[in-house]
C-alpha cells in the first residue's frame, strides 16, 4: 500500500480541528462550522480576507463539500483519541475540546500552525457573528438551515 500524504491526513486535520476548538474552549461547534472555519482560515486569500492562502493559490476554487467530508472523517480520529467529545443538544451534534485536546493544541508549535492560529481570528469573527446559513453561503454551500445561528 502506498503511503498517504500528511496533507489532509487524519492527523493533520485533527491538529487543525483541535486548534479550532481549543481557541474557543467554551464553545461547542458542529462539523459544518468547523469545516467553514477551517476553509476560511486555510483559504484566507480566496475569501478576500487577506493576501495569501496557507496552502497556496490553487487552480481550483476551494470546495466546502470536500472540506466537510475531510473534517467528518477526521472527527472520528479526534473523538477516539480523546481530543474532543460529542455534545448532543437542540442544535444537533456538536463537539467540545477536552483537557487532553487543549494540551495537544498547546503542544503543537510550528510555523504552519502558528500562521493558522493567527488567521483563525478573522474566521472566528465572521462565523461567530453570522447565522450558519450565511456562513455556509459565503463558503459556497447552499444551506437548508435558514435562520439557524452559527
Distance, in Å, from the CA atom of 81 to the CA atom of 58, rounded to the nearest integer, reads 32
Q: What angle do CA 13, 109, 81 make, to 5 degrees?
A: 40
User: In terms of pLDDT, which residue wins out, 85 or 140?
Assistant: 85
Nearest alpha carbon to residue 34 among 82, 88, 78: 78
- Per-residue pLDDT tens over the stretch 16-42: 999 999 999 999 999 999 999 999 888
The pTM assigned to this predicted structure is: 0.84
Average pLDDT, the chain: 84
- The C-alpha atoms of residue 62 and residue 82 are separated, in whole angstroms, by 29
Query: Which among 5-14, 115-124, 140-149 has the top mean pLDDT?
Result: 115-124
Per-residue confidence (pLDDT) for residue 17, from 0 to 100: 97
Tens-place pLDDT, residues 62-117: 688 989 999 999 999 999 999 999 999 888 999 999 999 999 999 998 888 888 89
Whether 39 and 17 have beta carbons less than 8 Å apart is answered as no
CA distance 66 to 62: 8
Q: How far apart are CA 59 and CA 100, in angstroms?
A: 38
Residue 143 has pLDDT above 50, yes or no: no
Whole-number pLDDT of residue 43: 83
Which segment of 23-27, 91-95, 137-141, 143-147 scores lowest on mean pLDDT? 143-147
Backbone angles phi, psi at 89, to 5 degrees: -150, -170
Amino acid at each position: 500500500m502506498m503511503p498517504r500524504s500528511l496533507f489532509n491526513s487524519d492527523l493533520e486535520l485533527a491538529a487543525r480541528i483541535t486548534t479550532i476548538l481549543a481557541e474557543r474552549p467554551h464553545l461547542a461547534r458542529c462539523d459544518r462550522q468547523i469545516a467553514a472555519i477551517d476553509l476560511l482560515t486555510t483559504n484566507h486569500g480566496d475569501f478576500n480576507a487577506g493576501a495569501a492562502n496557507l496552502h497556496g493559490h490553487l487552480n481550483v476554487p476551494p470546495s466546502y463539500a470536500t472540506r466537510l467530508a475531510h473534517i467528518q472523517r477526521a472527527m472520528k480520529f479526534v473523538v477516539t483519541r480523546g481530543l474532543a467529545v460529542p455534545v448532543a443538544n437542540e442544535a444537533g451534534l456538536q463537539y467540545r475540546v477536552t483537557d487532553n485536546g487543549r494540551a495537544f493544541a498547546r503542544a503543537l508549535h510550528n510555523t504552519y500552525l502558528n500562521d493558522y492560529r493567527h488567521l483563525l481570528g478573522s474566521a472566528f469573527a465572521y462565523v461567530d457573528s453570522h447565522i450558519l446559513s450565511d456562513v455556509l453561503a459565503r463558503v459556497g454551500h447552499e444551506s437548508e438551515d435558514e435562520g439557524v445561528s452559527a
